[in-house]
Structure 1
Amino acid sequence: MSDRKLDIAFWNYDRTRPLADGTIKIDGVNASFHSARVVPQIFEAMIRRRAYDVSELGMTYLLRTMDAEHPPFVAIPVFPNRAFRHSAIYINHAAGICRPEDLAGKTIGELALYGHDGGTVPKGILADEFGFRPERNRWIIGGIDFPMDPVDFVPQPHPDDVDVTMAANGADLGKLLDAGQIDALISADIPRCILDKSPNVGRLFADSETVERDYHRRTGIFPIMHTVVVTRELATQAPDIVKAVYQGFCQAKDNSAQRIARGMTFNNMDTMIPWLSNLITRDRDLLGEDWWPYGIAANRDAIDAVLRYNYQQGITRRRFTIEDIFAPYLLDT
């Protein structure tokens, strides 16, 4: 029997590259791999046109499709993009924000849409740990200096008591933050004013790495931004193929992790980042030998947090469970 042809899309990550370059093969699959300039373009192609059989998808993007009468996708427990997000909250120093509680009553910008993956998680953490309530704020949604198309291919709900408006076309939320026209900004992408070290702006958590490491020590959560989905038809008709796809992603990730670990023997001299080996050691000491785990068991708390945050923030109409969104035959991974 010939291998099944699949179109598979993801961004150019080190943990997926072994699939794209052929280092790792997916058993029983003749794969064509696709990417895009920015990852939301992959999401759009999958959601608008079902352009792929298998695709990376932001968790909040997936959950917005789950409220449909016939949800089009099923997730597999692969998480190509995850990030600690205390560092994604930026402030204007003149706004009088010295601690998380000071965000109350402020005007906050958010990248791309109300409840993007890099915004849902920090808002959830702020609510859990500091009593943050989004309805106390005015929200301005827009872009930053990096060009990105409007996210108009998914529903954009928000609770009725949350004041959300779109920024003017072409507005740069980073510039608005720098100028004091907004008080704070939550963004997965770093605005130019932060990269340029403008004296007007900074992070809410100035030593964000210390805060994020402490968060992981206390909770065990390494926040998840994106997962991988398959079409519901593929999930239903070809479970063995979907299992092989999952294994392929796992093998690709493990291949990259092993390459990074082996590189420590030579002080990771192929990469021009000083002290990189020390950073890898610190990360493995905190996060474990498998510091970027796939599967349900190692990620149950992190997945559940995302599902809860999306419900609490009014992005989904109901509180989804892990069993609602992941392929049933991969729940024991």
Structure 2
Amino acid sequence: MSTDLRVAAYTYEHTEALLDGRVPIDGANATFETASLVSDIFRRTAEGHYDVAEYGLTYFLRTFDLEESPFLALPIFPNRNFRHSAVFVNTGAGIEKPQDLAGKTIGEFAMFGHDPGVWMKGIFSDEYGLRPDRSRWVIGGTNHPVPAFDWIPQPVPEGVDVRHAAEGETLGAMLESGEIDALISVDVPRSLIDGSPKIARLFPAYETVERDYYRRTGIFPAMHVVAVPRELAQQADLMASVYRAFCEAKEIAQQKYRHGAIKQHMEVVTPWFSSLFEQNRALLGEDWWPYGLGANRKVLDTFLRYHHEQGLSKSLLTSEDIIVPSLLDT
């Protein structure tokens, strides 16, 4: 008998084969849902609408401080990105290096400790000695006003100055005007894309910095996992089927690029894409977007440490605390 499953994920090229039905979940009668904003999937996950759902790492981890955490994670990482490129500065604020952020007012997208923010605050602390309590923080939307996400816990550690932007304000406009000095955001400020001279990236050569970071650490930062209710996580065969399906959908996307290299990726609209592909393949390997705990333990444990150090988790969790037990050997 098949198990009915409500599954939600953002539409990435590595989830398309699931969402369009090319890859089934064995032993399940799965219905799939997506959204134009991935945060809408997170909100509906928090409200209990799904059996299997993409969930931001910090959103997922914050539930572990509830009286009873409702979720465990499959070692599937549908969203990951290097995040030095996600730090923006006002060009008149005198910020040339990370240490210059001390004493400054920094905007952060959506909440104190969104996934890129956790990564960059952790990197700033590890590599530059800059802790979050040395700056002031303003939370909001980058290009559009964003209300407080009151459907998820919002811990703020003692001694850290955090406020939400006023109604109608955007962090991008505040950065351009100099009301805030810097910004950590998953979204790029629209005015930077439009060529404003008042906003720049903290790391202008961010690709070089991020490639060096990977060479030194082996970390390709993960932003999201796939969450399941704890009671469903007890069904080991079903969890294995879900995991295999996500892996197969990802492999279809990766194989498209491997095969495309033979014809110099003539189906891709971006010039010189083959050169970029070869650079990435040489650095990241044949499976450049790995799933499974074995390939991601250091990534996860680093994020878990950052989350605890930044006051977002009461306890220092381990990979074993958060991953579905039957998939710990993946």
TM-score normalised by the chain length of structure 2: 0.98
CA distance in 2, matches of 1:74, 1:194: 38
The alignment partner of 2:238 has SS state of helix
CA distance in 2, matches of 1:4, 1:184: 48
Could you list the per-position Cα deviations for residues 266-309 of structure 1 after superposition, in whole angstroms to 9, with x for gaps in the alignment?
A: 22222211111111111110011100000011011110111011
Q: Is the 8 A contact 1:268 1:276 kept in 2?
A: yes
Give the alignment partner of residue 170 of structure 2, picking from 169, 172, 177.
172
Matched residue, 1:245: 242
Q: Is the 8 A contact 2:145 2:169 kept in 1?
A: no
Any residues of structure 2 matched to 1:72-151 within 5 Å, and which? 72-146=70-144, 148=146, 150-151=148-149
Shift of 1:145: 1.4
2:319 is aligned with 1:329 = no
Closer/same/farther in 2, CA of residues 184 and 280 from structure 1, 3 Å limit? same
Any residues of structure 2 matched to 1:1-333 within 5 Å, and which? 2-48=1-47, 50-146=48-144, 148=146, 150-236=148-234, 238-333=235-330
Structure 1 unmatched ranges of 5 or more:
none
Could you list the per-position Cα deviations for residues 210-231 of structure 1 after superposition, in whole angstroms to 9, with x for gaps in the alignment?
A: 0000000000000010000111
Structure 1 window deviating more from structure 2 (279-288 vs 261-270): it is: 261-270
Show structure 1 runs of 4+ deviating over 6 A.
none
TM-score normalised by the chain length of structure 1: 0.97
Could you list the per-position Cα deviations for residues 228-271 of structure 1 after superposition, in whole angstroms to 9, with x for gaps in the alignment?
A: 011111112x2210111011101110111001211122222222
Question: Over aligned residues, Cα RMSD in angstroms?
Answer: 1.0
Q: Is the 8 A contact 1:59 1:226 kept in 2?
A: yes
Q: Is the 8 A contact 2:90 2:176 kept in 1?
A: yes
Could you list the per-position Cα deviations for residues 112-164 of structure 1 after superposition, in whole angstroms to 9, with x for gaps in the alignment?
A: 00000011101101111000111111100011214655422111111110000
Q: Is the 8 A contact 1:144 1:171 kept in 2?
A: no
Structure 1 window deviating more from structure 2 (257-266 vs 305-314): it is: 257-266
CA distance in 1, matches of 2:91, 2:104: 13
CA distance in 2, matches of 1:98, 1:297: 37
The alignment partner of 2:92 has SS state of helix
Q: Percent identity?
A: 52
Shift of 1:104: 0.4
Shift of 1:27: 1.0
